[in-house]
C-alpha cells in the first residue's frame, strides 16, 4: 500500500510553528497526477518492482483510483511510444498492469462538497487540543458537517509537540467535547496527518483529468495478441479496467454511466464472461456508500477475486 504525496506517511504537514508555504517542500511542484505517477515510479524502482516483478494489478480508492488509472495510462503511453521516445522517468522493463481497479472514483470535477470540506478543515486553527474538539467544530453551526463525516475527518489527525505559546487554548476550552482527552494532552497536541496544500492542488486536477478518455485508451489501444508488456521494447499489453461504483452514492448520474458504457471495450456481466483481457468492466455495490471497502467488503472482494482470477495468464 502506497500513501499518495501529502497523505499518511508521505505527508510533510507542517507543525503549528511552520509556515504553510514550506509544508510541501519535499515534493516537486506542481502537485498533479503526473508528479504523483513519478512518486509511484520512485517507489517501485528501489524495491526492484520492474521487469517480471512489475505490479500485475493496481488498485486505488477515490483520489487513489484516479491515480491508479493515471499510472496505467502513463505506462501504456510509454509502451506505445517505444524505446526511442520513452520518457527517462520510466525505468527500462516496467510493465503495464494486467488489471487496474478503480474504487468509486467519479469522472469530472470534484463534487462541491469536497471543496466545502477542504475549506472547513483549512479554517481550523492548528494545533488542536483533542479529536473531540475538531469534531465539534466541524459539526457546529459555522461548518455544519455531518457527524459521521466529521468523525472520519478526525481520523486524519496525528499527535505532535505543542509549539511555544499555543494560541489554541482559548478555542479548546470553548470547543468542548474533548473532555479528559483534551485535558490530558498538556504537553502535546494534534495536527493533520495530511498536507492541506497538496490536497487542495490535487483536487483542482480533477477537472482536467480525461478520465473517460484514459479508460478508452488503455482498454482499446492495447493488443491481446502482443506478447510484450514492457515500454522499453515498444510492446503493448492487454489490460483490463474495473470500476466499482457505490450504489448509495448520488454522484453516479445517468449521463456519467451512459458515457462510460459507450466506451467500445465495455463488457457487461462478470469478468469471466469476456473473451478478451483488454476490457472495461463496471461493478455496482448496492449496499455501499463511498467507502466501498468498509461498507461492503465481502461484495467488493467477490468482484475482485473473480476479476483477478479471470486475468491470470
134 and 175 in a single domain? The answer is: yes
Does one domain contain both 93 and 124? Answer: no
For the cut 90, the answer to whether the pLDDT of residue 131 exceeds it is yes
Same domain, 187 and 262: no
Stretch 20-45: mean pLDDT:
79
Q: How far is CA 76 from CA 73, 88, 278, in A?
A: 5, 14, 12
Nearest to 198, CA basis, from 42, 40, 33, 72:
33
Q: Which domain-ending residue is among 135, 160, 194? A: 194
Dihedral of the alpha carbons of 170, 173, 178, 179, in degrees to the nearest 10:
140
- Distance in angstroms (rounded) separating the CA atoms of residues 124 and 121: 6
Q: What is the mean pLDDT of residues 281-301?
A: 95
Tell me whether residue 82 is in a domain. yes
The reply to whether 49 and 190 lie within a common domain is no
User: What percent of the chain has a predicted confidence (pLDDT) above 70?
Assistant: 74
Query: Where is average pLDDT lowest: 40-49, 156-165, 207-216?
Result: 156-165
Whether 131 and 280 map to the same domain: the answer is no
CATH number at residue 52: 3.40.50
- The answer to whether 41 and 91 are in contact (CB under 8 A) is yes
Say which range, 144-148, 157-161, 239-243, has the weakest mean pLDDT: 157-161
Q: Residue 127: is the preceding peptide bond cis (ω within 30°)?
A: yes
Mean of the pLDDT values across residues 188-195?
84
- pLDDT-wise least confident of 10-19, 52-61, 150-159, 230-239: 10-19
DSSP state of 21: G
State whether 103 and 223 are in the same domain: yes
Phi, psi angle pair for 195, to nearest 5°: -95, 115
* pLDDT(246) > 60: yes
In this prediction, residue 277 carries a pLDDT of: 66
pLDDT in the model for residue 22: 39
Percent pLDDT > 90 in the chain is: 49
Ranges 111-120, 153-162, 253-262, most confident: 253-262
Let me know if residue 7 belongs to a domain. no
Domain count, the chain: 2
Domain boundary among 194, 225, 258: 194
Q: What is the mean pLDDT of the chain?
A: 79
Categorize the per-residue pLDDT at 160 as very low, low, confident or very high, splitting at 50, 70 and 90.
Answer: low
- Domain assignment present for residue 14? The answer is no
User: 280 and 168, same structural domain?
Assistant: no
Total-model pTM = 0.79
In a shared domain, residues 104 and 120: no
pLDDT at residue 236, as a whole number: 54
Mark whether 230 and 98 lie in a shared domain: yes
241 CA to centre of own chain: 16
Rounded CA separation 230/97 (Å): 10
Query: 306: part of which helix (H) or strand (E)?
Result: helix 297-310
**Both 82 and 131 in a single domain?**
no
Considering the domain boundaries, does residue 23 fall inside one? no
- Let me know if residue 184 belongs to a domain: yes
Backbone angles phi, psi at 99, to 5 degrees: -140, 145
Q: How confident is the model at residue 176 (pLDDT cuts 50, 70, 90)?
A: very low
pLDDT, average across residues 197-226 = 82
Angle at 223 between CA 38 and CA 46, to 5 degrees: 25
Q: Looking at residue 288, what is its pLDDT?
A: 96
Burial of 48 (0-12, 13-18, 19+ CB in 10 A): exposed
Q: Is residue 228 located within the same domain as residue 103?
A: yes
Length of the chain: 313
Last residue of a domain, one of 168, 194, 220: 194
Answer whether residue 97 is part of any domain. yes
- 9 falls within a domain: no
More confident call, 235 vs 219? 219
HSE-CB for 93 with a 13 A CA cutoff: 9
Q: Supply 11's cell numbers.
A: 505527508
Domain that residue 171 falls in: 114-194
Judgement on whether residues 148 and 276 belong to the same structural domain of the protein: no
pLDDT at 132: 95
- pLDDT tier at 229, thresholds 50, 70, 90: very low
Q: Which of 54-58, 101-105, 160-164, 201-205 has the lowest mean pLDDT?
A: 160-164
For residue 29, what pLDDT is reported? 85
In a domain, 300, yes or no: yes
Amino acid at each position: 500500500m502506497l500513501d499518495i504525496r501529502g497523505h499518511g506517511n508521505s505527508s510533510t504537514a507542517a507543525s503549528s510553528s511552520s509556515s504553510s508555504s514550506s509544508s510541501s517542500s519535499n515534493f516537486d511542484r506542481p502537485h498533479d497526477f503526473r508528479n504523483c505517477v513519478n512518486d509511484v515510479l520512485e517507489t517501485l524502482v528501489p524495491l526492484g518492482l520492474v521487469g517480471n516483478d512489475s505490479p500485475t494489478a493496481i488498485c486505488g480508492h477515490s483520489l487513489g483510483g484516479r491515480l491508479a488509472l493515471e499510472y496505467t495510462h502513463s505506462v501504456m503511453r510509454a509502451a506505445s511510444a517505444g524505446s526511442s521516445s520513452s520518457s527517462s522517468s520510466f525505468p527500462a522493463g516496467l510493465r503495464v498492469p494486467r488489471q487496474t481497479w478503480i474504487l468509486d472514483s467519479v469522472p469530472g470535477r470534484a463534487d462541491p462538497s469536497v471543496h466545502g470540506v477542504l475549506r472547513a478543515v483549512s479554517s481550523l486553527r492548528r494545533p488542536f487540543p483533542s479529536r473531540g474538539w475538531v469534531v465539534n467544530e466541524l459539526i457546529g453551526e459555522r461548518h455544519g458537517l455531518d457527524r459521521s463525516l466529521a468523525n472520519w475527518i478526525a481520523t486524519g489527525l496525528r499527535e505532535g509537540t505543542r509549539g511555544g505559546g499555543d494560541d489554541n487554548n482559548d478555542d479548546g476550552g470553548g470547543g468542548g467535547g474533548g473532555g479528559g482527552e483534551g485535558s490530558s494532552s498538556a504537553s502535546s497536541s494534534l495536527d493533520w496527518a495530511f498536507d492541506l496544500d497538496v490536497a487542495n492542488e490535487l483536487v483542482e486536477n480533477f477537472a482536467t483529468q480525461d478520465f473517460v478518455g484514459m479508460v478508452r485508451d488503455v482498454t482499446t489501444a492495447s493488443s491481446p495478441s502482443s506478447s510484450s508488456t514492457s515500454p522499453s521494447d515498444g510492446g503493448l499489453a492487454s489490460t483490463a479496467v474495473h470500476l466499482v461504483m457505490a450504489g448509495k452514492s448520488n454522484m453516479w448520474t445517468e449521463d456519467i454511466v451512459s458515457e462510460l458504457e459507450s466506451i467500445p471495450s465495455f463488457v457487461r456481466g462478470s469478468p469471466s464472461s469476456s473473451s478478451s483481457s483488454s476490457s472495461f468492466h463496471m461493478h455496482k455495490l448496492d449496499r455501499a456508500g463511498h467507502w466501498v471497502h468498509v461498507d461492503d467488503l465481502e461484495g467488493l472482494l467477490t468482484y475482485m477475486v473473480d476479476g483477478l482470477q479471470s486475468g491470470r495468464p
